[in-house]
Structure 1
Amino acid sequence: MLHSKYKWQPQAYDANASQQFAEVLSISPLLASLLITRGICTVEEANMFIKGNMDDLHDPFLLHGMKEAVPRILHAIDSEEHILVYGDYDADGVSSTSLMIHLMRHMGASFDIYIPHRSNEGYGLHNHAMDWAHQQGVSLMITVDTGISAVEQVAYANSLGIDVIITDHHEPPEVLPNAYALINPKLSVCSYPYKGLAGVGVAYKLCQALLGNPPMEWTELVAIGTIADLMPLTGENRILVRTGLASMRKSTFQGIQALLEVSGIVKETVTSTNIAFGMAPRINASGRLDHAGRAVSLLTTEDSTEALGLAHELDSLNKQRQKVVEDILQEALAQLALKIQNAGLPSVIVLAGKGWNVGVVGIVASKILERYYRPVLILGIDEETGICKGSARSIPGLDMYAALTSCKHLMDHYGGHPAAAGMSLHIEQLSEFECALNQYAKSILIPEDLIPVVVADGEWKVSDLPISVIEEIELLQPFGMDNPIPRFIIRDIELRESRTMGRDHNHLRLTMQQENSRLEAVAFGQGDLAELLTTGIPLDVIGELSINEWNGSRKLQLMLHDLAVSEPQVYDLRGVKEPDVEMNRFLQLMGPRLRGQSTQIGVLSEENTLRDVRNHLKELSLWVYDKNGGMTSANTVAEQDGKEDITTLFVLDAPQSPRQLDEMMTAYKSLRNIVLLHAMDVREKLQVPDRELFKKLYILLSRIGSKPVSERDVLSQISRQSSTSVRMLSKMMDVFEELSFIERSNGSITLVPKPPKKDLDDSLHFRELGNLAEMEQNLFYTNTMQLTNWMITLLKGAS
């Protein structure tokens, strides 16, 4: 049995509403159900989701502050004032800044841009930047994707005679800046219908307000920033991104063309996924390892040669970024391992290191969150100043912005969203900060919050998912936040074949069958799972469905996210050289799929074997075979918790008797996984006894005569004559003795001349020999499939 790695959460939907959608919109019931699970309640909303276009965007003047901002900007341009566009260094900020550059050029404005350096300056507005702007003669500053928390900095700009228009989408603080205009759909005073705009989306609304109908290609920048900043692809975002993607497929932007080429993306088929995993990381790499201005130059250049050169520079920076991330990740994991060893896994993981590049700590936080499923903060420490700058990533159960707000007195600056945030503080505050965050988290989080959840679009049979329906799902594009690629749960599908693929065998390919429908699945990076799956077992799987085209053939294919095995499993690792090493490797491989406590994992062996491995297995429940045919506890864990809750049993030595085997299969009442690691060096092979074999032995014995002879010599002689092991012959002698065919005395045997007539079945030794021989035949000589079937039968019979 293998638990799923994640908790699967099928989305509920109204079957009647689904049928109505299907009929009115002329779509399949499956697609109708997908619309409903995305919160679409009416046919009108469904039409908007599928067919919405730029004409359906809201009036930009519904945004609070827009009526004040537009005339001020127009006046500045007419009066030839010098304008500063102040942006942020992430992909949303880069896209927003680039969009404003195109706007300023389009309107013939006099302007400069300023983006702070992530490592040297950090997030947000800075007074020294205000001083620089003042020296440049700036009288109007427009922020994009930043500024909503810059109370002091805006006040300072005002004192220098600079009017500030803030466009932002981050969570507003309690005290707002005294700006000339504040444009943020999340302001409590803002009645704008859609609250999910990215920073670049808010900037685009400003463009709309100023121009009416901005050039359609500008939506390409909106698409990049919206997807990269993980904004919901619903409402206006969906319309803007879909329009941007359509424009990008025939883009005239030299920078976007070059970035697509370097990222290996075919321009004509670009998708939101391509942007998220191909373009966005390269744009972000500029701000993480260098300065975001390089990415802005790429997105605003009109020179194809310059664009290609800049795109290659960003690609190189991204490769450097990957190396830096891996180095910091390993240091962070080592630091976390010590914390876990000393005090267990914390509710909020806070890790800080000297020299850690603050431009990539958010990526490191995401990787550690994925591994431990806890909110994570990673901070880089500046040794000279003692300032810690970091990024946080959170799980749905903990609003990170609220968590930071609860201890804001310990930070110099912070901002962000419920799922991600940034902060800076002095190293002297770090310990108290970590403690405060964990105290807050403990008051909020419940155990269910700490189990990762995968949302699924219902449970289906393979027969419900023909290729025509999967093709129809493309109407839901573009996919992203709040509109994920549909995931389907398919239960009770038989595994026909599992194998690894790829140069390093680190990917998995499965072939499965459900009734008359066959389904292939691939799982990247999960090649190790092949060791945990047995052909013929029923699987529950969850993943994304696509159509695999190869040599003119089109087949349904599942991109596997997770799986579960509800049936008991037997793992054949017989004959490994170092059973304790292999056991630890296997435990690591199973990982969270075992669920439960380490005390639910048992180890069974002979006393001598356990003596060699005991120190490596302290947390597990240890058991040894006893002389009476049962099992005895061998450590405190086993004594305290007993056998009944053990779900996984590692067998280091095979049972010596059918009684021990029966005890093993019945005493561990919750047993669902058996891992066999016993040696294969059987003393001497036993045969399943039959009457012909005993008849043959009796004939050979009769040739010896009726005088006492050495049993040892006789058995050795007969073994050579009959190709039967001495051990087998000795046990057959036990049967003869019980039936009074022979007499034993002081190592000698004597054939009884006229023995009583008795049937072999009357002998207890005969029956025990048969059971023992069958047990050893299965434990030592059968192949994996035969062994598995036999043990599963025993296990099911025991339960």
Structure 2
Amino acid sequence: MFSSRNQWKFIQNDNNEQIDELVKQTKTPRLVVSLLFERGYDSAEKINRFLKPELEMLYDPFLLHDMQKACDRIKKAITSGEKITVYGDYDADGLTSTSIMYEALLQLGADVQYYIPDRFKDGYGPNLEVYKKLISEGTRLIVTVDNGVSGNEAVNYAQQQGVDVVITDHHEMPAELPHAFAIVHPRHPDSSYPFSDLSGAGVAFKTATALLEEVPPEMLDLAAIGTVADIVSLTDENRVIVSAGLKVLQNTERVGLLSLYHEAGVEQNKITAETIGFGLAPRLNALGRLESGALGVELLTTFDDQRAQEIAQHVQQLNVKRQELVNEITAAALKKVENESQQHAVNLVVGSNWHEGVLGIVASRLVEATGKPTLVLNANEETGAAKGSGRSIAAFNLFAALDGHRDQLLSFGGHYMACGLTIAIEKQDEVQQILDDEAAKQNISAAPQPVLEIADKIDLTNFHLDDLDKIEMLAPFGQDNQRPVFAFTNFKVKLAKPMGKANNHLRLNLENSKGGLVSAVYFGIDQDKLGQIIQDPKHVEFVGYPDKNVWQNKTSLQVKIEDLRLVQGQPELQVFDQRVNKLTVNMFKKPGVYAFFEKKILAQVKQYMSVDSKAIVLSKQGEKVRAKDLYLIDCPNDLRDLQLSLNTVEAQKIHLVFYPKNDVSKAGMPDRAQFGNLYRFVLSHHELNLSRDGAKIAKHLGVSKELMIFMFQVFFEVGFVKIENGLVTGVPSTQHVNLKETSSYHSRRLQIRTQQILLHSKSADLINWVKEQSV
């Protein structure tokens, strides 16, 4: 049994009369109005503005702090022919911000270039050495996008050299701001911009709008990507940007985006905010994480079809590599956390030879796995520094926790939920103590379980694909406008099974009260929970949202599970399908009883077993086997041997390994012609040396060596061959013999039947069969 990650809270709606009135006024489905009402949209005007976002709803860009001053300086630089450098960032928000500003300045005739800092050499934000280089090469105006407010040293240096810096940024503002010529920021303390949660691309888009003196619709695709990628609030002005931007993305003619769609397997006319978040943004981010983000700006702004294709293919390759690195480092980091003897409120994990570009993703994975704020760093022994990223939980302000301890850090920046930092390796213990002390101050141990609001219940018998269109009226979904989560009624869980290459996802087959089938899927489930659910699927409870599943051009209703729990204890016996084709040392590290049918296999692996483990040979006499964890290692030759053993097992968990030393079921039984060919061959070839020439003979006969040896065994049993000094010679015979009645033939037939069931049956069928034998 296990509980849900969140506290499920059903929304209590006691405003039926007001909702009914709003339904009449807006002519909107009641479900939609009810959902919006609970999110604070309590008037017809608010609901209509939400459901019909228009570009006219965008705020005047000159309401942003220093916007007029920034535009005047940029236009002056263009008029006087000054060289301008757009200084960006290496993530998806930074790459789209840079592309927007670069294209806007090109349209105005500027002498403009862009610079994307290298994550590993330059770090995040203004870099003093890079600024010096840019200035020495003739740059007279620097325009930052998606960075700048924390770059005091570099920005102040440029201003002192007579090179103005215009900052456009959206990140957390430090106590001391740089002395830039202008700072365009939605949360600047000296302004009152109506919407404070623009992304870097959003601020760049607003600046481009001010410079061009009109909304540039051709840049909305980039603004939408940056806004979704940076996980800012998808309400108010961002909702307008993303809604309009998705339409542009669905019709864009940018050759770079079209090439990226192709590599990512994205259908252009079906692009949603989720497509950006899970398809496009991770690929753009892969550039800056593993190499140089500058290629991303080239991809987004190029007009060269061939070049776009080359970059997009490279991006796809990097994204695959990024996924592999994340999986590898996450496994190593989790192992370190599990082996940590002292319990900490915050995970600080330091490794070596870990790729720094993916550590933020790894940190997120560890937060999901442990429920704790996590910082993951890579230690460089040559520099003596450990550099990486942190991710947090709602109960812990990561930025506030470390901001007051900068004297203990080599570098630091970030916000409430995430940060980047570098520490001296020798300071690891001190930083861990700081994190634990700050966690105590913020009292995260007493933080309540996160609340997941359940919007309503959905009857799976009466809910259809057409009903999804009502919920989709609330899209685009994202931060502060999450898909509504529902509970589901009128169904039975018929089957639970793992899915995915790593078997780390769950699929439930549901049957509604009319016999209709609906699938429900849950991604990234813990293996222990997965095992429990497979054992006892009838007692799993879940909440999620309805969605469309398209498979082989057929669209069906599917439930995406957001959270689940097992409400009743699992059965006494649990069975796990862990079948393998090869035995490895690590398979014998866990304590338990390891059972074998062949003594030879036991002898080969016994040295690798844990001292807490026990090895046994299963007896045909049916002796009692008692164990908490019983591992059935090898595959028996006769199914009856396994049945007899299972009838006497007293175990809580049975792990089915069933390693086949020789999978004869693939070769099957020889036919009459194959027996005849072999007999004729041995009669015409005397004193065959099978150990030396067996492979050649088998190839000549067109059979596997294993199958040929079996046929020789049958011939030897009936006297068709004799063996002297290891050499085989045929014996002529006129006697009619039924080879199928030999003990060798009978034994192989039993072995094939056994292997067909134990090695090649479906996982669910095998588990059920084993349970039945163990009753």
> Fold-level match, TM-score > 0.5?
yes
Distance in 2 between residues matched to 1:309 and 1:49, nearest whole Å: 40
Match of 2:223 in 1: 222
Distance 1:466 1:120, change over 3 A: same
TM-score, normalization by structure 2: 0.72
Distance 1:554 1:380, change over 3 A: closer
Which residue of the other structure, out of 631, 643, 648, is the alignment partner of 1:681? 648
2:149–2:177: 8 Å Cα contact kept in structure 1?
yes
2:496–2:533: 8 Å Cα contact kept in structure 1?
no
Match of 1:50 in 2: 51
Match of 1:244 in 2: 245
Distance 1:501 1:190, change over 3 A: same
Report Cα offsets for 1:482-505 as digits up to 9, x if no partner.
Answer: 112222122685323334456776
Gaps of 5+ in 1: 587-611, 618-648, 653-677, 684-780, 789-799
Please show how residues 180-195 of structure 1 align to structure 2 within 5 Å: 180-195=181-196
Distance in 2 between residues matched to 1:193 and 1:156, nearest whole Å: 33
Q: Deviation at 1:66?
A: 0.7
Match of 1:96 in 2: 97
Report Cα offsets for 1:295-327 as digits up to 9, x if no partner.
Answer: 111111110110010001111111222222233
Point out the more displaced range, 418-427 or 547-556. Answer: 547-556
Q: Deviation at 1:535?
A: 7.2
Q: Deviation at 1:9?
A: 3.7
Match of 1:32 in 2: 33
Secondary structure at the counterpart of residue 35 of structure 1: helix
Distance in 2 between residues matched to 1:80 and 1:574, nearest whole Å: 75
Q: Deviation at 1:517?
A: 7.6
Gaps of 5+ in 2: 579-586, 593-608, 615-626, 631-644, 651-767
Which residue of the other structure, out of 480, 486, 493, is the alignment partner of 1:488? 486
Q: Deviation at 1:455?
A: 4.1
Match of 2:309 in 1: 308
Match of 1:521 in 2: 520
Distance 1:616 1:49, change over 3 A: farther
Report Cα offsets for 1:506-565 as digits up to 9, x if no partner.
Answer: 554323356558543233455873653567835422112023466897643212233334
Secondary structure at the counterpart of residue 142 of structure 1: strand
Q: Deviation at 1:583?
A: 14
Match of 2:142 in 1: 141
Match of 2:7 in 1: 7
Distance 1:138 1:468, change over 3 A: same
Distance 1:202 1:173, change over 3 A: same
Identity %: 35
Match of 1:369 in 2: 367
Distance 1:13 1:433, change over 3 A: farther
Distance 1:542 1:77, change over 3 A: same
Secondary structure at the counterpart of residue 157 of structure 2: helix
Distance in 2 between residues matched to 1:534 and 1:289, nearest whole Å: 41
Please show how residues 344-355 of structure 1 align to structure 2 within 5 Å: 344=343, 346-355=344-353
Distance in 2 between residues matched to 1:502 and 1:356, nearest whole Å: 26
Match of 1:432 in 2: 430
Match of 2:379 in 1: 381
- Amino acid corresponding to residue 27 of structure 2 in structure 1: S
Point out the more displaced range, 322-331 or 460-469. Answer: 460-469
Distance 1:343 1:235, change over 3 A: same
Report Cα offsets for 1:732-760 as digits up to 9, x if no partner.
Answer: xxxxxxxxxxxxxxxxxxxxxxxxxxxxx
Distance 1:565 1:384, change over 3 A: closer
Q: Deviation at 1:379?
A: 1.6
Distance in 1 between residues matched to 2:350 and 2:166, nearest whole Å: 35
- Amino acid corresponding to residue 243 of structure 1 in structure 2: A
Distance in 1 between residues matched to 2:110 and 2:239, nearest whole Å: 31
Match of 1:76 in 2: 77
- Amino acid corresponding to residue 3 of structure 2 in structure 1: H
Match of 1:512 in 2: 510
Secondary structure at the counterpart of residue 561 of structure 2: strand
2:142–2:164: 8 Å Cα contact kept in structure 1?
yes
Secondary structure at the counterpart of residue 541 of structure 2: strand
Match of 2:401 in 1: 403
Distance 1:165 1:12, change over 3 A: farther
Match of 1:343 in 2: 342
1:532–1:571: 8 Å Cα contact kept in structure 2?
no
Match of 2:284 in 1: 283
Distance 1:24 1:513, change over 3 A: farther
Please show how residues 683-722 of structure 1 align to structure 2 within 5 Å: none
Q: Deviation at 1:383?
A: 2.6
1:287–1:359: 8 Å Cα contact kept in structure 2?
yes
Secondary structure at the counterpart of residue 456 of structure 2: coil
Match of 2:390 in 1: 392
Report Cα offsets for 1:707-735 as digits up to 9, x if no partner.
Answer: xxxxxxxxxxxxxxxxxxxxxxxxxxxxx
> Superposition RMSD on alpha carbons, in Å?
3.5
- Amino acid corresponding to residue 368 of structure 2 in structure 1: E
Q: Deviation at 1:88?
A: 0.9
Distance 1:682 1:81, change over 3 A: closer
Distance in 1 between residues matched to 2:233 and 2:576, nearest whole Å: 53
Q: Does 1:537 align with 2:558?
A: no
Match of 2:163 in 1: 162
Secondary structure at the counterpart of residue 234 of structure 2: coil
Q: Deviation at 1:451?
A: 4.4
Distance 1:290 1:11, change over 3 A: farther
Distance in 2 between residues matched to 1:242 and 1:154, nearest whole Å: 35
Distance in 1 between residues matched to 2:549 and 2:381, nearest whole Å: 53
Match of 2:444 in 1: 446
1:396–1:449: 8 Å Cα contact kept in structure 2?
no
2:104–2:212: 8 Å Cα contact kept in structure 1?
no
Secondary structure at the counterpart of residue 457 of structure 1: strand
- Amino acid corresponding to residue 4 of structure 2 in structure 1: S
Distance in 2 between residues matched to 1:7 and 1:208, nearest whole Å: 44
- Amino acid corresponding to residue 242 of structure 1 in structure 2: S
2:575–2:771: 8 Å Cα contact kept in structure 1?
no
Distance 1:367 1:574, change over 3 A: closer
2:85–2:143: 8 Å Cα contact kept in structure 1?
yes
Please show how residues 106-125 of structure 1 align to structure 2 within 5 Å: 106-125=107-126
Distance in 2 between residues matched to 1:503 and 1:436, nearest whole Å: 40
Please show how residues 644-793 of structure 1 align to structure 2 within 5 Å: 680-681=647-648
- Amino acid corresponding to residue 440 of structure 2 in structure 1: K
Match of 1:151 in 2: 152
Match of 1:478 in 2: 476
1:493–1:540: 8 Å Cα contact kept in structure 2?
no
1:392–1:421: 8 Å Cα contact kept in structure 2?
yes
- Amino acid corresponding to residue 680 of structure 1 in structure 2: N
Aligned length: 606
Distance in 1 between residues matched to 2:499 and 2:85, nearest whole Å: 54
Match of 1:171 in 2: 172
Match of 1:131 in 2: 132
2:647–2:774: 8 Å Cα contact kept in structure 1?
no
Please show how residues 451-600 of structure 1 align to structure 2 within 5 Å: 451=449, 453-462=451-460, 465-490=463-488, 493-500=491-498, 507-513=505-511, 515-516=513-514, 518=516, 519-524=518-523, 526=525, 529=530, 532-533=533-534, 537=538, 539-548=540-549, 555-573=556-574
- Amino acid corresponding to residue 285 of structure 2 in structure 1: N
Distance in 2 between residues matched to 1:385 and 1:574, nearest whole Å: 50
Match of 1:66 in 2: 67
Report Cα offsets for 1:192-219 as digits up to 9, x if no partner.
Answer: 0111100010011101111122431201
Secondary structure at the counterpart of residue 571 of structure 2: strand
Bigger-Rg structure (1/2): 1
2:168–2:203: 8 Å Cα contact kept in structure 1?
yes
Report Cα offsets for 1:381-422 as digits up to 9, x if no partner.
Answer: 333222332211111111111112132222233222211121
Distance in 1 between residues matched to 2:201 and 2:51, nearest whole Å: 23
Q: Deviation at 1:226?
A: 1.0
Distance 1:479 1:583, change over 3 A: farther
Q: Deviation at 1:457?
A: 2.5
Distance in 1 between residues matched to 2:217 and 2:286, nearest whole Å: 27
- Amino acid corresponding to residue 523 of structure 1 in structure 2: Y
2:209–2:216: 8 Å Cα contact kept in structure 1?
no
Report Cα offsets for 1:265-285 as digits up to 9, x if no partner.
Answer: 011111111111111111111
Secondary structure at the counterpart of residue 473 of structure 2: helix
- Amino acid corresponding to residue 349 of structure 1 in structure 2: N
